[in-house]
Amino acid sequence: MSKIIGIDLGTTNSCVSVMEGGKPVVIENAEGFRTTPSIVAFGKDGERLVGHVAKRQAITNPEKTIYSIKRFMGRRQHECTDAERNMPYELVGGSDELVRVKIDDKEYAPPEISAMTLQAMKKVAEDHLGHEVNQAVITVPAYFNDAQRQATQDAGTIAGLEVLRIVNEPTAAALAYGLESKKNEKIAVYDLGGGTFDISILEIGDGVFEVKATNGDTMLGGDNFDEVIIDWINEEFRKDNPGIDLKQDKMALQRLKDAAEKAKIDLSATATTNINLPFITADASGPKHLDLTLTKAKFDQLTSHLVEATLEPCRKCLSDAGMEASEIDQVILVGGSIRIPAIQEAVKNFFGRDPHKGVNPDEVVAIGAAVQGGVLAGDSSVKDVLLLDVTPLSLGIETLGGVMTNLIERNTTVPTRKSQVFSTAEDNQSAVTIHVLQGEREFARDNRTLGRFDLTGIPAKPRGLPQIEVTFDIDANGIVHVSAKDKETGKEQSVKIQSSSGLAEEEIDQMIKEAEANAEADKKQRELVEIKNQAEQLIYQAEKSIEELGDQAPAELKSKIQDPIEELKKVKDSDNKDEIQAAMDKVQAVLGEIAQAAQAAQGAADPGQAQPETPNEAPSDDSDKDDGAVDADYEVVDDD
């Protein structure tokens, strides 16, 4: 039976896990790492690179290396900050349009880029399990809105995965923690990743994981700490080099990003770090070098506002849960950015207790996703686990005066369904537009539009008399379905809010085809590389064998193999796999003839040498011993 894998699709890194023998197992990638950078790059001739190999070439290929794409999932241009838009790669789209990435002449939607990372994680799992995988549980930040959740689901579909469940990252972490803990507790999960921040309060016990409240910021994460360091480096450099802005040079900006990330990591363990970037740029006076020292104290000062920005959502979350910080039994830290000492200290001071350090912050979310996958698959080891999550933001519609009227309040347990009756605003109104919103502001204009649809054919009546029942339905993935029904006629309009993800079904289908084509192209490319390597090895072995056989190989055969070897040398660098294989077959055929001739020649020579050493032995015994000697000598030749 095919396994259901759990994938933590992170801003900076991704991780995949699966249930094996009743326990979740984190799977290593081909390079031996348990996490894979969420980075996609396009090399020469459109070659697609994912993960560590993409990260390694980022400095020399900044405009075609895409990182932190998760920050743009389901978001429109005007929703992004200037800092977010200042990427080495090109972002396109009008103010009200969803963000897209332009590489050469082709535009990619963020779900399409994320799908490439998901495809890589899918392959990691398949290589480990030895069979195809097509079902997954994928995690998202708890504070992701409907558009961002649908974009994630679209990414899974494009990658060839049936996304059985979208799980909030803090909830997944709680699942992983609670599976080991086995206690009845109230826990807080503080999740600061590369691009997002979440805080969730849960009650866990007897296999039930109930989220009481969640809050967060989808534009706050480790990237923001990097940006602060980048700005500081740039300003320090400009003090000595006025007029030079390193952030305007894409290659220099990529080097600054790498240096900032390294400095941030260093300062989690040391008091100072050196930032040394020779030949960072050049002007008329010659090359410029950058050499700075950043102290932990200065870093803490520069980023104090970011640390404080994580605490306000914590206050709101506790308030929504109806709890005090002192009531929390355990605080779980999740995400790579929690390694920053100032973060750990702030969390300790806020909750009044040392955070729990018994989970791996980089892997715990994927582990929780695998546990949920086990639940969905009916795994007996987790059959008693029940997950009760919540919707992070209120949902409603626009009503008279531009007001947002909520139907489902934030932190309502999902799945859920809620209906409310509305009426017309004008006499004889025959149609109404249902404007679906998500957010916490009073007025529709300040909240996020999930979509609009029309209900027509309403009987002509004075305003206020028609009864229109609007129903909101949120599934277990947190994705919204809305319907409107005229109670008199029974006429109904029902939609899954698709416009918010920005990808039409036809567009997703096209992306799936392209993803499959790319996967096939990647497979063919791997096969071509492998056969080229085999050809190189065969040429080496053939020439070495001929040299070592010396006079044992007949001269006519040694001459006969030269042409096939030369032919193989000519075609081994071509892109025609069949042509290379045919040339290899010719070399191997003549090599076989040479080996047989050498064996025969050696077999004829050895019996004569053996006679003087064993003159008194019976012929049958001599024959046996000679055969053994020939076999041993032949084995050595064959190995060479």
Domain boundary among 305, 325, 357: 305
The number of CA neighbours under 13 Å toward the Cβ of 111 is 29
Q: Are residues 140 and 16 in the same domain?
A: yes
Residue 211's DSSP bridge partners are 202
From first CA to last CA, the distance across the chain in angstroms is 45
Sign of the dihedral through C-alpha 328, 331, 337, 340? positive
The domain boundary, picked from 305, 335, 367, lies at 305
Percentage above 70 pLDDT, the chain: 90
Q: Do residues 439 and 567 share a domain?
A: no
Domain membership of residue 470 as a residue range: 395-502
In DSSP terms, 456 is beta-bridged to 431
- Residue 606's pLDDT band (cuts 50, 70, 90): low
Three-point CA angle 101, 107, 111, nearest 5°: 65
Of 161, 160, 162, the closest CA to residue 519 belongs to: 160
Q: What is the CATH number of the domain that holds 288?
A: 3.90.640.10
State the catalytic residue, choosing from 3, 55, 64, 70: 70
243, amino acid identity: G
Let me know if 345 is a catalytic residue. Answer: no
Mean pLDDT, all residues of the chain: 87
pLDDT at site 332: 97
H/E stretch holding 66 reads strand 65-66
Separation of alpha carbons 85 and 95, rounded Å: 12
Q: Which has more confidence, 322 or 449?
A: 322
The values of phi and psi at residue 348, to 5°, are -60, -45
Same domain, 335 and 406: no
| Catalytic position from the list 112, 146, 154, 191 | 191
Q: Answer yes or no: 212 catalytic.
A: no
One-letter amino acid identity for 67?
Y
Prediction pTM value: 0.77
pLDDT in tens, 197-206: 999 999 998 8
Q: Catalytic residue among 3, 8, 112, 288, which?
A: 8
Q: Strand ranges (DSSP E) for 261-402?
A: 272-283, 286-295, 330-334, 386-390, 395-399
Q: What is the pLDDT of residue 637?
A: 39
User: What sign for the dihedral angle of Cα 237, 239, 242, 247?
Assistant: positive
In the prediction, which pLDDT does 340 show? Answer: 97
Residues 116 and 211 in one domain: yes
Catalytic residue status for 169: yes
Mean pLDDT of 589-615: 64
> Given this model, what pLDDT does residue 613 score?
42
Verify that 277 and 317 share a domain, yes or no. Answer: no
| CB contact set of 397 (below 8 Å; sequence gap of 6+) | 404, 405, 407, 422, 434, 435, 436, 437, 470
Give the span between the Cα atoms of 555 and 279, in whole angstroms.
59
> Above 90 in pLDDT, residue 86?
no
588 and 578 part of one domain: yes
CATH number, residue 466: 2.60.34.10
pLDDT in tens, 275-334: 999 999 998 888 999 999 999 999 999 999 999 999 999 999 999 999 999 999 999 999
Extract the tokens encoding 306.
Answer: 């970011």
Q: pLDDT higher for 625 or 260? A: 260
59 and 174 share a domain?
yes
Q: Compare 174 and 47 and report the one with higher pLDDT.
A: 174
519 or 351: whose pLDDT is higher? 351
Q: Which of 502, 521, 550 represents a domain boundary (last residue)?
A: 502
Q: Compute CA 150 distance to the chain's CA centroid, rounded to the nearest angstrom.
A: 16
Structure token digits, residue 605 = 């020579």
- CATH number of the domain that 386 lies in? 3.30.420.40
Between these two residues, 127 and 357, which has the higher pLDDT value? 127
Same domain, 497 and 542: no
- 442/573 same-domain check: no
Q: Are residues 131 and 195 in the same domain?
A: yes
Q: What single-letter DSSP state applies at residue 71?
A: G
What integer pLDDT is reported at residue 183 of this predicted model?
82
Structural domains in the chain (count): 4
Is pLDDT above 50 for 522?
yes
Q: How far is CA 615 from CA 608, 618, 626, in A?
A: 11, 8, 13
Give the dihedral sign, CA 477/482/487/493: negative
Q: Show the tokens assigned to 506.
A: 């036809």
Distances (CA, A) of 183 to 206, 256, 360: 8, 46, 19
| Annotated catalytic residue 191 | yes
Which helix or strand (DSSP H or E) is residue 624 part of?
Answer: helix 619-639
Instruction: Say which amino acid occupies 174.
Output: A
Q: Which helix (H) or strand (E) holds 203?
A: strand 197-205
Model confidence pLDDT, tens digit, residues 125-173: 999 999 999 999 999 999 999 889 999 999 999 999 999 999 999 999 9
Whether 341 and 237 share a structural domain: no
Confidence of residue 61 (pLDDT cuts 50, 70, 90): very high
pLDDT of residue 630: 38
Task: Give just the sign of the alpha carbon dihedral 205, 206, 212, 216.
Answer: positive
Q: How far apart are CA 148 and CA 533, in angstroms?
A: 43
Question: Which residue type is seen at 205?
Answer: G
Res. 256 pLDDT band, cuts 50 70 90: very high
Q: How confident is the model at residue 234 (pLDDT cuts 50, 70, 90)?
A: very high
Alpha carbons 453 and 471: distance in angstroms, whole number? 13
3-state secondary structure of 91: strand
Whether 437 and 551 map to the same domain: the answer is: no
* Rounded Cα–Cα distance for residues 135 and 3 (Å): 7
Choice among 112, 146, 169, 389 that is catalytic: 169
